[in-house]
Amino acid sequence: MSSLPRPNNANPYAAVSPTLSRSPSFAGPYGGSFSGGANSGSNTNNNNLSNAATRAPQIFKRLLKFTQMDFEVAVWEMTHLMIAPKKVFRNVYYRKQTKNTYSSHDPAFPYLLLFFLFLTSLAWSFAYADPSFSNIVRIALTFTTLHCLLSSVTIATFMYFFVDRALGPGGWLTGRPGTGRRRGLFSNVGPQGESELEFGFCFDVAIRAFFPIWVYLYVLQFIFMPAVASHRFISTLVSNLLHLLALGHSTYVTFCGYNTLPSLSSTQLLLVPPLVIYTVLWLLATLVVGWNCSLHLAPVLWGWGGLRKRPGGAGTAGPG
């Protein structure tokens, strides 16, 4: 079979697809791909402008689409948040290249964490509270809404305004020259095309930073509660160490999250000063004052559920 004649110096791929010879494409680790070249940057900016108004509701559109949620990835993230938090945020770069956003639109992680908190609330309710239906519901709602969701939203809001102004371009802690970036809760493209902090990403970091707190204070503290809830020095030492590990691990997860953003600098300020403060407070509470965190702070976890006994069997108590 003879091939059709082709003019000299003609692109052999032009007749098939004029876009094949423009720029190479690269595949991300999660199946996505992005292309390089000069044209890709302009196309991305155009997509930014057209999708800026529609990016915010995407996660809300998937709240009830459980078949589209990747719970396997959520379990993987929970595991590595405890052993290697940096790996959890490595896909942020590829998500930015493929979906033009730093925040995750998959609510699988919050759903799974809320489910674990609900199971934990049942354990605390039956162990230390009056196991009535109203108390169980009250403690479950307190664990899921007040302790997890409300605290994550509050911390995310604070970090969104603080980190952007303190560590971003023109930040008062970095001294870098600013570019007059546009503000907006769900936008991530400034007037010069520079990426800026997203509120959705701040929420992703905040709710993932809550997971180590759940492990140390909601699970491990519950298991060791009969041993740590006493006025003995060894009990105070272990109890306060659990709280120090919870706060330190959560702070490190927060640092790993914001450290992935190229627009931020001096992110170590989110890690070192808090750890120093936690360590000083731990030394004062443990060695100087002898203040047991489990005795004074653990009842807050039960959500004012009408405690029928204190940890370690030290009498009864009214509503916390």
C-alpha to C-alpha distances, 276 to 13, 64, 92, 162, 211, nearest whole angstrom: 61, 42, 28, 20, 22
**How do the pLDDT tens digits run along the chain, 320 residues long?**
445 554 454 444 444 444 433 334 434 344 444 444 444 444 444 444 344 333 444 555 566 555 678 889 999 999 999 999 999 998 777 777 777 778 887 889 999 999 999 999 999 888 887 778 888 888 899 999 999 999 999 999 999 999 988 888 777 876 655 443 433 333 444 444 354 688 889 999 999 999 999 999 999 999 999 899 888 999 999 999 999 999 999 999 999 999 998 888 889 999 999 999 999 999 999 999 999 998 888 766 666 655 555 555 544 443 33
Pairing of strands 25-27, 33-35: antiparallel
Q: Tokens for 255? A: 């640092």
One-letter amino acid of 92: V
Q: Using an 8 Å Cβ cutoff, are 313 and 137 in contact?
A: no
CA end-to-end span of the chain, whole Å? 88
